[in-house]
């Protein structure tokens, strides 16, 4: 609390200032009257709408398959490149990657459709019932996937290396993204002749289906002479079709012997 003495002292000081002509009280803090006036506060704006997320560049599964496949310089590079490829949904449901069997460099390369249950378990193409029939068909014209001699050898793969759920057919997108790998597989295995087994294999290799019309007619796929044939699984269901397949096998044999 101020004392009466303080009061009298301050009042005397004030009177003295008034006598000197002061007309305004002076604050403790100096005021700069030349300073630009402060901006008025901006009116509140409505809350900004949430920013539109920047679109991720869209994945290009076929382009990525092409890049991965063409970067593989050998078959030993191609298998891990395929294993590392993550765009094919079939990969998630399969136990194993089914890459190939037989002898790379064989004169004949067989391209099937997709692994089934046995193939998925053993990570080898054509080892189930259809594969056992295929082995008998090949043996009938002197070919064998386990042959030491290159003249009798065959090399076997599929359009898709992962088993589709419930053995359904691979769809158009799955085939399209696997095609660059199949093309590279053929380039690196360097067969003389490609055999397309069944509709899916014709779809991937020739861009068309209709195996009953296409079978037995030489054409070209993956840059090689190729022969479409009925799939052995079809022959198991329709034994009468074995007659046509026998004719196709003899055609293949004649071509290999140069007598076609």
> Which of 100, 130, 154, 193 is in the footprint of ligand URA by CB under 6 A?
130
Q: Does 125 bind ligand URA (CB under 6 A)?
A: yes
> Could you say which residues in the range 10-49 bind ligand URA, by CB under 6 A?
none
Q: Binding string, 185-214, against ligand URA, x = CB under 6 A?
A: ------------x-----------------
Total residue length of the chain: 260
CA distances from 23 to 17, 19, 229 (A): 9, 10, 114
Cβ-contact 114, 170 below 8 angstroms:
yes
Measured CA to CA, the distance from residue 9 to residue 160 in angstroms comes to 103
Cβ-contact 218, 225 below 8 angstroms:
yes
H helices within the chain, ranges in order? 4-20, 61-71, 75-84, 90-93, 117-122, 129-140, 172-189, 199-206, 211-214, 232-237, 242-256
Starting at the edge strand found earlier in the chain, the sheet holding 154-158 runs 101-102, 154-158, 108-112, 193-197, 224-229, 219-221
Q: Does 113 bind ligand URA (CB under 6 A)?
A: yes
Q: Does 115 bind ligand URA (CB under 6 A)?
A: yes
Rank residues 186 and 233 by Cβ distance to ligand URA and give the closer one.
233
> Which of 72, 99, 158, 221 is in the footprint of ligand URA by CB under 6 A?
158
Measured CA to CA, the distance from residue 257 to residue 192 in angstroms comes to 12
> Which of 68, 103, 108, 112 is in the footprint of ligand URA by CB under 6 A?
112
Rank residues 64 and 118 by Cβ distance to ligand URA and give the closer one.
118
Q: Binding string, 221-260, against ligand URA, x = CB under 6 A?
A: ------------x---------------------------
Residue 159 CB, shortest distance to ligand URA, in Å, is 8
Summarize as ranges the residues that interact with ligand URA (CB under 6 A): 112-116, 119, 125-126, 128, 130-131, 158, 197, 233
């Amino acid at each position: 609390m101020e004392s009466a003495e303080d009061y009298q002292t301050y009042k005397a000081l004030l009177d003295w200032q008034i006598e000197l002509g002061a007309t305004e009280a002076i604050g403790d803090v100096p005021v700069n009257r030349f300073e630009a006036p402060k901006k008025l506060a901006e009116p509140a704006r409505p809350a900004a709408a949430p920013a539109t997320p920047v679109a991720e560049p869209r994945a290009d599964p076929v382009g990525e398959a092409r890049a991965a496949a063409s970067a593989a310089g050998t078959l030993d590079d191609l298998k891990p490149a395929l294993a590392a490829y993550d765009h094919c949904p079939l990969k998630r449901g399969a136990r194993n990657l089914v890459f190939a069997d037989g002898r790379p460099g064989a004169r004949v390369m067989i391209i099937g459709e997709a692994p089934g249950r046995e193939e998925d378990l053993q990570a080898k193409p054509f080892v189930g019932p259809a594969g056992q029939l295929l082995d008998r068909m090949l043996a009938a014209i002197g070919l064998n996937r386990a042959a030491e001699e290159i003249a009798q050898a065959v090399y076997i793969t599929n359009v898709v290396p992962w088993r589709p759920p419930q053995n359904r057919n691979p769809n158009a997108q799955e085939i399209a993204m696997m095609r660059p790998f199949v093309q590279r597989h053929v380039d690196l295995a360097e067969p003389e002749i490609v055999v397309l087994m069944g509709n899916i294999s014709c779809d991937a290799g020739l861009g068309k289906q209709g195996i009953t019309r296409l079978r037995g007619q030489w054409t070209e796929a993956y840059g090689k002479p190729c022969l479409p044939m009925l799939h052995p699984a079809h022959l198991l269901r329709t034994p009468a079709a074995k007659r046509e397949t026998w004719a196709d096998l003899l055609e293949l044999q004649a071509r290999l012997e140069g007598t076609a």
